[in-house]
């Protein structure tokens, strides 16, 4: 059992609580220090192995899944790109550390504190899928991560390591900017907005080449799997959910922040590692803004297993008894509506209408007709965007209406939220105007 608190809310001192096996991705120097240097990294982990076809089997046996949100089996993605690279020539690897999810900070943290692990992983992945172009994709406001990676690349050059050049590409910080087709469009010089598929980026991505777009945490795990093997990876977590994972705890917990934990363990123990809840829980949101609301009882029995409930980007938002899940969901869905890329009618108009109706519901201004419209509209918009943005928002909304059915009833009878309570989830950020 392991939990390592690595990031505290602004203002409080950095915090580390370790039990059992200790962190993997974030092992090494203290996290309140600067990035790990090349020397420190080498002393700790030795030189990196060279990737290649051999690694595809190892990654398959490890059971590693994509940590960007979809939890897609990593080896299948790698094999697909690798096969196309053999047929059509060199592929491209894009390490996605853009992290558009407002509450998450795990990918940026890895880039900031362990840049060499991330670079190792990117190169190993490139060798394994036949890529000759390697990109690290970052959100423009992630300045510390950019600085750490540039510095790390400089260290490697000065050390005389011969390895492919790695480009850093920046994007505006938007919710959809990390969606894989948006990533490809941005790397190709456009705006970070999703495109219609097929073709999927793995078939036709950066400059038309087969492209592997992989989340940063996943790449960092792969860098360690290549060194230590699949059996080592499976020493932690469970058979169904092997390895460790980065989760972000927010809301009604004593010490919100980013934690590296064993997958498969109980949600209660993870919350315990964050100092426990501040007040009796009313429910929780697991998987970030696209995630699933669970009531306190279901939450108490849940485990961190993607087969049971999707962990999405690893964000767990705890809601206190005085909070209102309907109000929280209304805020989140309205935010997601503003974050639409503005390309698809059902997302632009449907999501906006649903967000407005949810807000009316939260303030006690909605009648049964509004509630019926929320249900009808949300059913209609699922699957009708070019990407999963509307579907993710609907998942949040639908599970909120189910989980907090009693609150919905109160709201429909004209009672507004009693506010969002003493420990609401952090507010969604303001959306920037326009795209650049």
Partner 1 sequence: MSGSGPRLRVNPIRCDGARYCAEIVPELVGLDEWGYPIVASAPIEDPRLLRLAERAVNECPRVALQLAPIRDRGS
How many binding residues for partner 1 (CB under 8 A)? 24
Q: Which is nearer to partner 1, 195 or 334 (CB)?
A: 195
Least separation in angstroms between residue 216's CB and partner 1 is: 20
> Around 414, how many Cα atoms within 13 Å sit in the side-chain half-sphere?
0
Burial of 222 (0-12, 13-18, 19+ CB in 10 A): buried
| Least distance (Å) between residue 252 CB and partner 1 | 37
344 or 358: whose CB is closer to partner 1? 344
List the one residue from 269, 343, 359, 431 that touches partner 1 (CB under 8 A).
Answer: 343
The minimum distance between CB 63 and partner 1, in angstroms, equals: 17
According to the binding rule CB under 8 A, does residue 344 interact with partner 1?
A: yes
**Which residue among 296, 321, 322, 349 contacts partner 1 (CB under 8 A)?**
349
Q: By CB under 8 A, is residue 191 in contact with partner 1?
A: no
When binding is defined by CB under 8 A, the residue of 268, 278, 298, 353 that contacts partner 1 is 353
* Nearer to partner 1 (CB atom), residue 326 or residue 386: 386
- Regarding 292 and contact with partner 1 (CB under 8 A), the answer is no
Residue placing its CB nearer to partner 1 in the complex, 289 or 377:
377
**Per CB under 8 A, does 345 bind partner 1?**
yes
Give buried/exposed letters for 168-192 (b at 16+ CB in 10 A, else e): bbbbbbbbbbbbbbbbbbbbeeebb
Q: Which is nearer to partner 1, 2 or 340 (CB)?
A: 340
Which of 98, 128, 139, 202: binder of partner 1 (CB under 8 A)?
202
Which residue among 87, 198, 368, 436 contacts partner 1 (CB under 8 A)? 198
435 binds partner 1 (CB under 8 A): no
Q: How far apart are alpha carbons 363 and 228 in whole angstroms?
A: 54
**Per rule CB under 8 A, is residue 203 in the interface with partner 1?**
yes
- Judged by CB under 8 A, the residue of 200, 227, 228, 360 near partner 1 is 200
Which 61-90 residues touch partner 1, going by CB under 8 A? Answer: 72, 76-77, 80
Please report whether residue 195 would count as binding partner 1 according to CB under 8 A.
yes
Stretch near partner 1 under the rule CB under 8 A, chosen from 3-11, 14-22, 39-47, 349-357: 349-357
Is residue 60 near partner 1 by the rule CB under 8 A? no
Nearest approach, Cβ of residue 377 and partner 1 (Å)? 7
Q: State yes or no: residue 321 binds partner 1 (CB under 8 A).
A: no
Choice from 164, 229, 272, 346 touching partner 1 (CB under 8 A): 346
Closer to partner 1 by CB, 76 or 151: give it: 76
Least separation in angstroms between CB 71 and partner 1:
12
In the range 366-425, which residues lie near partner 1 by CB under 8 A?
A: 377, 380-381, 384-386
HEC secondary structure over the chain: CCEEECCCCCCCCCCCCCCCCCCCCCCCCCCCCCCCCHHHHHHHHCCCCCCCHHHHHHHHHHCCECCCCCCCEHHHHHHHHHHHHHHHCCEEEEEEECCCCCCCCHHHHHHHHCHHHHHHHHHHHHHHHCEEEEEEEEECCCHHHHHHHHHHHHHHHHCCCCCCCEEEEEECCCHHHHCHHHHHHHHCCCCCCCCCCCCCCCCCCHHHCCEEEEEHHHHHHHHHHHHHCHHHHHCCECCCCECEEEEEEEECECCCEEEEEECCCEHHHHHHHCCCECCCEEEEEECHHHCEEEEHHHHHHCECCCCCCCCCCCEEEEEECCCCHHHHHHHHHHHHHHCCCCCCHHHHHHHHHHHHHHHHHHCCCCCHHHHHHHHHHHHHHCCCCCCCHHHHHHHHHHHHHHHCHHHHHHHHCCCCCCCCCCCCCCCCCCCCCCCC
Residues that bind partner 1 in the complex, under the rule CB under 8 A = 72, 76-77, 80, 195-196, 198, 200, 202-203, 343-347, 349-350, 353, 377, 380-381, 384-386
């Amino acid at each position: 059992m392991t939990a390592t608190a690595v990031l505290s809310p602004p203002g409080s001192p950095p915090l580390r609580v370790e039990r059992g096996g200790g962190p993997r991705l974030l092992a090494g120097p203290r996290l309140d220090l600067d990035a790990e240097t090349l020397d420190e990294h080498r002393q700790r982990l030795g030189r990196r192995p060279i990737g290649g076809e051999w690694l595809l089997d190892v990654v398959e046996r490890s059971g590693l899944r994509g940590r960007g949100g979809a939890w897609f089996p990593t080896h299948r993605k790698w094999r697909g790109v690798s096969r196309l690279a053999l047929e059509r020539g060199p592929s491209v690897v894009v390490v996605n550390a853009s992290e558009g999810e407002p509450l998450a900070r795990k990918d940026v943290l890895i880039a900031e504190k362990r840049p060499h692990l991330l670079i190792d992983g990117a190169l190993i992945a490139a060798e394994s899928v036949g890529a000759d172009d390697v990109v690290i994709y970052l959100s423009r406001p992630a300045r510390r991560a950019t600085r750490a990676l540039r510095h790390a690349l400089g260290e490697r050059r000065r050390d005389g390591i011969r390895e492919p050049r790695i480009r850093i590409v920046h994007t505006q910080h938007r919710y959809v900017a990390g969606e894989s087709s948006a990533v490809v469009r941005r790397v190709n010089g456009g705006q970070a907005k999703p495109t219609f598929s097929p073709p999927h980026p793995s078939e036709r991505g950066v400059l038309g080449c087969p492209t592997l777009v992989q989340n940063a945490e996943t790449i960092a795990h792969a860098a360690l799997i290549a060194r230590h093997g699949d059996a080592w990876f499976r020493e932690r977590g469970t058979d169904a959910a092997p390895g460790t994972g980065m989760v972000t705890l927010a809301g009604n917990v004593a010490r919100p922040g980013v934690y590296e934990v064993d997958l498969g363990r109980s949600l209660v123990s993870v919350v315990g590692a964050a100092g426990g809840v501040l007040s009796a829980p009313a429910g929780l949101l697991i998987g970030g803004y696209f995630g699933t609301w669970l009531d306190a009882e279901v939450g108490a029995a849940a485990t961190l297993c993607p087969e049971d409930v999707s962990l999405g980007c690893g964000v767990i938002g705890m809601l206190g008894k005085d909070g209102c899940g309907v109000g929280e969901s209304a805020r989140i869905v309205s935010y997601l509506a503003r974050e639409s890329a503005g390309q698809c009618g059902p997302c632009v108009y449907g999501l906006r209408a649903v967000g407005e109706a949810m807000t009316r519901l939260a303030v006690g201004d909605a009648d049964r007709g509004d509630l019926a419209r929320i249900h009808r509209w949300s059913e209609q918009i699922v699957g009708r965007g070019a990407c999963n943005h509307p579907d993710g928002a609907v998942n949040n909304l639908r599970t909120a209406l189910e989980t907090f059915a009693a609150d919905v009833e109160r709201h429909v009878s004209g009672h507004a939220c009693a506010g969002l309570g003493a420990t609401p989830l952090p507010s969604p950020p303001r959306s920037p105007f326009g795209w650049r």
